[in-house]
Amino acid sequence: MLNTLSKDSIMATLIQQYGKLTLEDNAMCSSNNLFQDLVTIVIRQQLSNKIALTICQRVETLLNGEIFPVKILAVSDIELKKTGLSSNKINYIKNIAYAIQNGSLKLEEMHKYSEPEVRLTLTKIKGIGQWSTDMFLIFCLRFPNIFSFGDAGLIKAVQNLYGKNKMLSKEQIYAISEKWKPFRSYACLYLWKSLET
């Protein structure tokens, strides 16, 4: 993986700077509970890491650490709102819980799915778009070749590192990402890391 990414001189510099990064070392999907991980991803939509972490901790406290569909559905929207969740996100999380309960979403089987099958299944649920699906594919299912074009941080990192003081088009960013195949998910890790420094 590192040999492939190192063929790109900029990526090679990032690898030298940050060492080996792995898809397992991420707080977004760190439980052994795919429902909880998907809830975490929904909470993190369009929020800073700090605010999202605070809300996640409050939700976990509210549910006594048992983040399961039946528990989410048993809690009132008023209680969930006290954690900092918006009305929309409460609806999105409950949509996921309902989908699991009615059998239309079988998270435990997702490891057997192809990337298009995962996308088709998840984006049927209101509140789960391309970004959330990308994060689930990268961090929860650990697909090695995902680049999230909807992630503002990734686009910013590519602009910073490859733009040379000019804005890159979506087509140019896509062409750059092609160089990282079949390990674009790992390239994402280095790009995100570059934003921390």
Task: Answer whether residue 29 shows pLDDT above 90.
Answer: no
What's the rounded mean pLDDT across residues 150-179?
93
pLDDT of 174-184, one tens digit each?
Answer: 999 999 999 99
Structure tokens at 180: 């990282």
For residue 165, pLDDT beyond 80:
no
Tell me the C-alpha distance between 143 and 113, whole Å.
11
Q: Which amino acid is residue 140, in one-letter code?
A: C
Chain position carrying tokens 């790109």: 8
The sign of the torsion formed by the CA atoms of 142, 110, 48, 10 equals: positive
Is residue 151 scored above 80 in pLDDT? yes
**Percent of the chain with pLDDT strictly greater than 90:** 88
- Residues 26, 53 contacting (CB under 8 angstroms): no
**Element housing 109 (H / E):** none
My answer on whether omega of the bond before 144 falls inside 30° of 0, hence cis, is no
